[in-house]
Structure 1
Amino acid sequence: MTHTDPFLALSARTGRFSHGSPRAVTISSDGARLLLLRSTGPEDPVERLWLLDTADGAERLVADPVALVPGRTGAVAELPAPERRLRERLRLWAPGIGSFAATADCSVAVFALDGRLFRTETEGTETDRAETTELPVAGPAFDPRPAPDGQRVAYVAGGELYVTPGPEPLSPRDGALWGVAEFAAAEELGRTRGHWWSPDGTALLAARVDESALPLRHFADPAHPEVAPESFAYPQAGGPNADVQLWVLGLDGRRVQLRWDDAAFPYVTAAGWEGDGEILLTVADRLQQAVVLLTADPATGATRELSRTEDEFWVDPLPGTPLRLPDGRVLTAADSPAARGLALDGKILDHERIQVRRVVGTHLGRVLLETGEGDPYHQHVDLLDPDTGALERLSEGPGVHGATAAGGTLLLTSATPDGIRRTLHREGAALPLADRAAALPYRVVPALARVTEHRLPTAVVYPRGHVPGTRLPVLLDVYGGPGYQAVAGEPRRWQLKQWWADRGFAVVTTDNRGTPHVSPEFTRAIFRRFSRVALDDQVAALHALAADHPDLDLARVGVRGWSYGGYFAALAVLRRPDVFHAASAGAPPTDFRLYDTAYTERYLGLPQDNPDGYLADCLIPDAPSLTRPLLLIHGLADDNVHPSHTLLLSEALRRAGRPHTVLPLPGVSHMTPDGGTEQIAALELEFLRNALGATPSM
């Protein structure tokens, strides 16, 4: 679709204002240089690999996919299935080099492009120019990883693990998948890789994944009936999971299986080498109420417990933990009802004023943290002294601040209403990291408030030039589910909301209980039931906001959302038509009995143990109650929320004689790449204007 709206056209051309921004930053172990991915400018979608000297900020292009594969730039839809699915799990949709792996000194980087394997020597050998070589592979290559010395490369092809230059797989041909992360790990548990080199380069730790017990999900593209359907194994709630083992595969042919109680702890959430003689792995039980850090002997496969975290609800993952410090002590999450905290060797570190969001790692002998404090809208960067408990704030001012560090070099990223800046700090000097993204068209400062007795974070965005006293239809732009905070100070997420406001809406966003970064107690309010708390909180927040914002016309309230937000949008008009008058529901999981194990069971338990909770959260039985306009949107190539979710609800609505609209998106995945978000927004606007009578303000 060609956009006639200037903002939507600009957003589509610039990749939602992300083209040209650096990402996937990898700092060398000595801190002297770093590698990153970035396109050449705001309207160039193709991501290239760059090398930067942290002493003076000088940077060089070291791998250009346009030159390496002329005429092809790694467009996601045309990639081999494993690489395409990995990008989907990582939410990568720009073409070019989607991801890379490098040696610790950043002298060698490897990546896959269109199933071909490339190795880049970032400094070259004689001319001080980077040199990229294509390596022969046994089949379409996936997730390559260089050996510590950069001479060999491990990669996956056809479900087997190979090491260059060998023509035969290192893994046994036993019918299992080797070297990959299964769906549950990659989509829900934060582990997107399945093989790791030993520090001495003589062996690989590899995941063995047996999906034979899983049901298959099938995808056909109705727009291209000549193309055969695609299938993959999917772990459905209450059903079997993939059987995951970890093996040490020596280049000399030795094979050792790591042994733990995998019946009690089937999920491997993290793994890696701590040294040549030790492997660390983190495992979790099926309901994720217990998470255990294990040390393993790679010579024998024997494991021993180092730490255990348990919770009667679920153990909410804290990125970066468990973390073993250089002196051997182990840092773990330690939640109280009011705070996400830390414990060192089991001793709780008392910092009630902060909510730890991520443990970045160690920096200058201390622990680098991303934290919230007071207002969850903001995120800060702190250094924690593990011995004294003292905190040092590294970030300045409001906004969302994040960090990456290695070898004494710190990259501090600060997102504020004025934009995003990245600064390298090394040996007392500060250098800006170039960002070539388009300038954000709007400086959005939403009206923030904490409302109701639960102090729900809320935001209201008005049209620019809004005249107080002018009543506006309300658009609830919602997510509302676990794992995502919508009311946060990252400026790019407010651009589309301002566009919606300028089309004649007061745009309201609320983080109901169940969303993260307020407190563990706030998040766990949805235990064993999604719909009731989310719906009650969103309705209560609307009424509380209307008391302070008289221009909110609660007689005209629309709701839009995607994924869990799409579920909530459909839920809203089905169960509270007295409050919500129209809904646009994108990719909604309408029946969580059909969604995946690791996500759904963490919050709702097993369907066989909580049948009433699953039924109460299912939208299909509500179909006869629809009385409001409902637009259902779904990508037909969505392997996260299968399009059957929308089709089952649509079928139930048809059988009940309830008018509704369905917008199928052939070939589109859960991410809606290539301008899909903007195309959908234009169609939603027409639908919601007709339903609510919104009038453009500008």
Structure 2
Amino acid sequence: MTGQLPFPRQHARTQRFTLGAPRGYAISPDGARVVFLRSLTGTDRTQQLWVLDLAEGREFAAADPRALLAGADEELPPEERARRERTREGSAGIVGYAVDTAIELAAFTLSGRLFVSELRAGTTRELPVQGPVVDPRPSPDGRHIAFVAQGRLRVVPVDGTNTADAAGDGTAGGGADRVLAEPEGPDVTWGLAEFIAAEEMGRYRGFWWSPDSDRVLAARVDESPVRRWWISDPAHPDREPAQIRYPAAGTPNAGVTLALFGLDGSRTDVTWDTGRYPYLARVHWSAAGPPLLLVQSRDQRDQRYLTVDVRTGTTRTVHEEEDEAWVEPFPGVPAWTPDGRLVRIADEGGARKLFVGDRPLTAAPLHVRAVLDIGEDDVLFSASGTEMHDVGVYRAWFRGSGDQGGWERVGDRPYPTVSSAVRGGDLVVLSQASLERPGAQVEVVRLGADGGEKTLAAIGSYAEEPVLTARPRLVLAGEREIPCAVLLPAGYAEGDGPLPVLMDPYGGPHGQRVVAAHNAHLTSQWFADQGFAVIVADGRGTPGRSPGWEKAVSRQLAEVVLADQVHALQALAGSFPLDLERVAIRGWSFGGYLAGLAALRRPDVFHAAVVGAPVTDLRLYDTHYQERYLGHPDEEPEVYAANSLITDEGLSGAAEQHRPMLIVHGLADDNVVVAHALRLSSALLAAGRPHEVLPLSGVTHMTPQEQVAENLLLLQVDFLKRALRST
């Protein structure tokens, strides 16, 4: 039985216990339906589209990919494969969908084909259009579907009736679809998010319907200025390398602009100072106001909130923010309240606050993370409080009888938790994970007008139960009060003596690891059960505490994040059985960079490192991320030299004392390309420092392959035990 499998295999087969768990919710405004995605078992990768009928209290599948594809394997077009890599999507089937305002109609793709589901009836049909189809989205009134195919923005009536070819391309794809926006060249696309937006800004869309369903606001992306890179597969020398456009730090970005396209064939270009504000971070368009844009300067110290005049395409600044470190785009904002006030999240007075207009609705100790929904008189948002690991869902009122100048938490579970929510009308799908049990509990609750809630239904999960139980102790380490999770082997007794230590961080921006959720600590617990005391430390730079905590890494990324790992380790040594003569560190992505820093710069503290998919040459990573923290490499080259692994500064410790290092990297990674690992290996070789390199053929930054994910855990443990025995 699957429950009897060793943890590494179960962890890989279940995709970290995410398969079978519900996700991707939408709630009809009449409170009749909740739509969501879920696969049939905890090892089934194929996501189905489900509907919960609240009146009847039953769930039914509205779309089954296996039936719709007649059992054929799914074939992803390159654009869809890239979208999934940016969102770290490893499952299959219906991995995403979009709905109309009434939640009567859902649109999605399978193998580049367009399907629509009538959600009340639970029926699904294919619309014949030119493809391959990417990101289909119904108009708010549910009468049309807009989508992208081969860089063209197209539209098709849901009823299949033919319409005039307003774009003039003379084709209807064998159906009724037509082109709204035609690329002017091979490097131009309409309606897709560029790499930087999807990878670093959290903007995965490239077009937005008007509230009246008569126009589409679309992004034009010109990648011709972006330098070409090639991703090859050495395991298949007969195959041509894949060409990508990668905007490395200090190099040109894609040009991004906007235009309004009417279903009548009209076009209105949107204008703003793209030279000063080249980054399009957010777009919001609702019935409460004109289109709202958030644009950023290249150095990300200045961002503006713009409104768009839909008649002329001109823009007007309604708010501006500046910060000497950087400004941050947040999920769910900017947006309008129903009465036309600007909703935003901003740093003020040492706190991250929620604003409606010029009025802050929150204050410390709440640290606002995202806006989840905006109601008639309240805002639903997520935030952490006095404890970073406790992430809750809150509501704050901006008018009406509930306007008490404060906020309340949604959910009646014992805290702490890690919670998220989706709202429709007065219903909320509330997901709450905790340390007490695996997975998350998902409930549909009705919010009271002035506070409180009533549970109406639960949405079941088919996710597997892990074969082990995580037992993290969440503590604050040292004078800096660094949040840490400490995990000891199952059955460890106080008299068993000190344990070799494994630091297991991410440790960087946007990567909180110390959270009040059981499944988040499973892999760390498994490493602990192999005989280690495992420490996960969220030092400065990680999210959740305060703006100052996050921005302490500006221009001194390496120094700060490494110092906090050392500080946490040494502070915990007096309270836990840590053998400081045998300390290892492992990490992936930023965590891999941090592991490399530890072994190279503090060999007096760290005795071995697993360096997974690391950024080693900081000039080789992308513009929006790297320049946010380190500035422009041409203007501040000394900052890049001081923070990179392969410069003289980065390799300083390697010249003093060798520490065993295992470098792991996927050869198909298009985010942190394998050149990072190869340059580190070359630098170590030149310094005469032995090390091990594990190349992963055909693997991207996600490592979704089952056998790869399983064996990576086993190989890391083998390396760590060998390395620490030799110290």
Fold similarity call, TM over 0.5? yes
Of 295-304 and 135-144, the range deviating more from structure 2: 135-144
Maintained 8 Å contact 1:277/1:298: no
1:529 aligned residue: 556
Of 322-331 and 248-257, the range deviating more from structure 2: 322-331
Give distance in 1, aligned partners of 2:397 and 2:131: 48
2:540 aligned residue: 513
2:687 aligned residue: 656
1:172 aligned residue: 182
| Displacement of 1:3 | 13
Q: Quick one: which of 689, 692, 695 aligns to 2:721?
A: 689
| Displacement of 1:207 | 0.4
| Displacement of 1:68 | 1.3
Maintained 8 Å contact 1:199/1:276: no
Report the residue type matching 2:700 in the other structure: S
Give distance in 1, aligned partners of 2:389 and 2:345: 22
Q: Quick one: which of 566, 570, 573 aligns to 2:592?
A: 566
1:667 aligned residue: 698
1:390 aligned residue: 406
Give distance in 2, aligned partners of 1:7 and 1:49: 29
SS of equivalent to 2:124: strand
Q: Quick one: which of 351, 374, 384 aligns to 2:386?
A: 374
Report the residue type matching 1:30 in the other structure: D
SS of equivalent to 1:526: coil
Give distance in 1, aligned partners of 2:499 and 2:295: 51
Are the structure 2 counterparts of residues 21 and 115 from structure 1 closer, same or farther at C-alpha, using a change threshold of 3 Å?
Answer: same
Q: Quick one: which of 301, 304, 313 aligns to 1:289?
A: 301
1:485 aligned residue: 512
1:502 aligned residue: 529
Maintained 8 Å contact 1:47/1:94: yes
Maintained 8 Å contact 2:592/2:614: yes
Maintained 8 Å contact 1:529/1:614: no
Equivalent residue runs for 1:134-533 within 5 Å: 134-164=126-156, 166-167=172-173, 168-175=178-185, 176-275=188-287, 278-336=290-348, 338-349=350-361, 351-363=363-375, 365-387=377-399, 388-395=404-411, 396-397=413-414, 398-417=416-435, 418-419=437-438, 420-426=440-446, 428-469=454-495, 470-533=497-560
Give distance in 2, aligned partners of 1:308 and 1:57: 48
| Displacement of 1:351 | 2.1
Maintained 8 Å contact 2:131/2:150: yes
1:96-116, Cα deviation, whole Å (9 max, x unpaired): 112111112221111111212
| Displacement of 1:337 | 5.5
1:109-164, Cα deviation, whole Å (9 max, x unpaired): 111112122122223xxxx4x32222223231111112233332211111111112
Q: Quick one: which of 622, 644, 657 aligns to 1:596?
A: 622
Maintained 8 Å contact 2:377/2:398: no
| Displacement of 1:50 | 0.7
SS of equivalent to 2:281: strand
Are the structure 2 counterparts of residues 343 and 365 from structure 1 closer, same or farther at C-alpha, using a change threshold of 3 Å?
Answer: closer
Maintained 8 Å contact 2:289/2:336: no
Maintained 8 Å contact 2:281/2:329: no
| Displacement of 1:276 | 9.7
1:268-327, Cα deviation, whole Å (9 max, x unpaired): 111132239821211111122222221112221011122222211111233222231111
Give distance in 2, aligned partners of 1:283 and 1:646: 34
| Displacement of 1:5 | 6.4
| Displacement of 1:693 | 3.6
Report the residue type matching 1:424 in the other structure: V
Gaps in structure 2 of 5+ consecutive residues: 157-161, 163-171, 448-453
1:323-352, Cα deviation, whole Å (9 max, x unpaired): 311111212223136321123322334522
Q: Quick one: which of 582, 585, 591 aligns to 2:611?
A: 585
Maintained 8 Å contact 2:116/2:125: yes
Identical columns (%): 45
1:244-274, Cα deviation, whole Å (9 max, x unpaired): 0100111222110111111111111111322
1:99 aligned residue: 96
Give distance in 2, aligned partners of 1:457 and 1:42: 31
1:576-635, Cα deviation, whole Å (9 max, x unpaired): 111111110110010111100111111111111221111011111345536111101111
| Displacement of 1:216 | 1.1
Give distance in 2, aligned partners of 1:597 and 1:519: 25
Is residue 545 from structure 1 mapped to residue 572 from structure 2 by the alignment?
A: yes
Of 528-537 and 197-206, the range deviating more from structure 2: 197-206
Give distance in 1, aligned partners of 2:618 and 2:129: 40
1:80 aligned residue: 77
Report the residue type matching 1:502 in the other structure: D
Give distance in 2, aligned partners of 1:318 and 1:191: 10
Report the residue type matching 2:488 in the other structure: Y
Give distance in 1, aligned partners of 2:544 and 2:705: 31
| Displacement of 1:426 | 2.7
Report the residue type matching 1:637 in the other structure: A
Maintained 8 Å contact 2:183/2:190: no
Are the structure 2 counterparts of residues 386 and 441 from structure 1 closer, same or farther at C-alpha, using a change threshold of 3 Å?
Answer: farther
- Normalised to the residue count of structure 2, the TM-score between the two structures is 0.91
User: Alignment length, in residue pairs?
Assistant: 684
1:60 aligned residue: 60
Give distance in 2, aligned partners of 1:231 and 1:162: 26
Give distance in 2, aligned partners of 1:142 and 1:410: 29
1:37 aligned residue: 37
Give distance in 1, aligned partners of 2:289 and 2:627: 36
| Displacement of 1:184 | 0.7
- Normalised to the residue count of structure 1, the TM-score between the two structures is 0.95
Gaps in structure 1 of 5+ consecutive residues: none
Give distance in 2, aligned partners of 1:616 and 1:194: 37
Of 319-328 and 240-249, the range deviating more from structure 2: 319-328
| Displacement of 1:67 | 1.0
Maintained 8 Å contact 2:296/2:303: yes
Give distance in 2, aligned partners of 1:307 and 1:29: 31
2:165 aligned residue: none
Is residue 642 from structure 1 mapped to residue 654 from structure 2 by the alignment?
A: no
Give distance in 1, aligned partners of 2:427 and 2:591: 39
Q: Quick one: which of 114, 136, 156 aligns to 2:111?
A: 114
Maintained 8 Å contact 1:334/1:342: yes
Of 200-209 and 327-336, the range deviating more from structure 2: 327-336
| Displacement of 1:363 | 4.2
| Displacement of 1:570 | 0.9
| Displacement of 1:430 | 2.4
Maintained 8 Å contact 2:351/2:367: yes
Maintained 8 Å contact 2:478/2:568: yes
SS of equivalent to 1:170: strand
Report the residue type matching 2:445 in the other structure: H
| Displacement of 1:502 | 0.5
Give distance in 1, aligned partners of 2:4 and 2:228: 41
Instruction: Please provide the CA RMSD for this pair.
Output: 2.0
